[in-house]
Amino acid sequence: MATTALCTLIRHTSAFTPVARQASASLTSSSPPPSSTSRRIIHSLSSSTKSSPSFQSWQSSLFSTTEEIDPGIVEGTNLQVLKYPHPSLRAPNEEIPMEDLTGPGSEISLIAKEMFLVMYATQGVGLAAPQVGINKRLMVYNESGDPKKWMQESIMVNPKIVEFSEAKEWDEEGCLSFPDMGGDVERSKWIKVEAQNLKGKTVKKKFRGWEARIFQHEYDHLDGMVYIDRLTEDGRKEVQPKLDEFIAVFGEGGAI
């Protein structure tokens, strides 16, 4: 298996709280993203609020209770997390031909299965094939991030977004390929999507809210984009010193 990478949406404390989600939803496309100060205020919930039954119930209904981790070597697969600026994150991604889709025993099916293993090991919710060094238009996700809820798993082959909502919202995103970083990204509130399943059948879906954000984040990877490409000018300046560190560590041959 090719050398691999993983990059998933980071579920910061703000994303877990109803207060933060409500604040984020109120930010329209004409509104600037919240300042670092306001994000810190949102993050600074009291321990009593975080431990309340109502908070925990709301949190666990959408997300896992921990942030993503770098698991290193994952049992059952050779796929591992790659860090920016690995060229795989910027390389063109080929469409998967129909003859490669033969159901559960196909190579694409096996790749998707291993992608789920890595995704769950990182406690993430989505993963695109180029993030694991496979430059094909394939993505997997499970909005719950819970391997026990396998009925919520989705494998999408050659996906495309056919319609975006005009209404947009800001929320904080991050990526395992960019450790200890995050930034506010503007996304459409809903999208309409077409893709193929493992049997080659065309599927059509409409995603809203959190699930729409997951899909848009992973879909960007299929076009060689990463979340830092969507940061505001100020947001990019804020993380640039960290990006410079990654570039220096990677050395020659990185794709910036």
Question: What are the residue ranges of helices labelled H in 44-137?
Answer: 47-51, 53-62, 107-121
The confidence score (pLDDT) of residue 179 equals: 83
Q: Within 10 A of 74 (CB to CB), how many other CB atoms are there?
A: 19
Averaged confidence pLDDT in the chain: 78
Model pTM greater than 0.85? no
**How confident is the model over 113-158, as pLDDT tens digits?**
999 999 999 888 889 999 989 999 999 989 888 999 999 999 999 9
* Residue recorded with tokens 């399943």: 197
For a pLDDT cut of 90, what percent of the chain falls above it? 57
For residue 53, pLDDT over 60 is answered with no
For residue 176, pLDDT over 50 is answered with yes
| pLDDT band at residue 51 under the 50/70/90 scheme | very low
For residue 52, pLDDT over 90 is answered with no
Catalytic residue from among 95, 218, 233, 252: 218
Biggest CA–CA distance in the chain, Å, is 55
The confidence score (pLDDT) of residue 174 equals: 86
C-alpha separations of 248 from 27, 132, 183, 237, 245 in Å? 36, 22, 21, 17, 5
Best mean pLDDT range from 73-77, 85-89, 173-177: 85-89
229 or 80, higher pLDDT? 229
Cβ burial of 100 (10 Å; 0-12, 13-18, 19+) is middle
> Annotated catalytic, 218?
yes
The confidence score (pLDDT) of residue 73 equals: 86
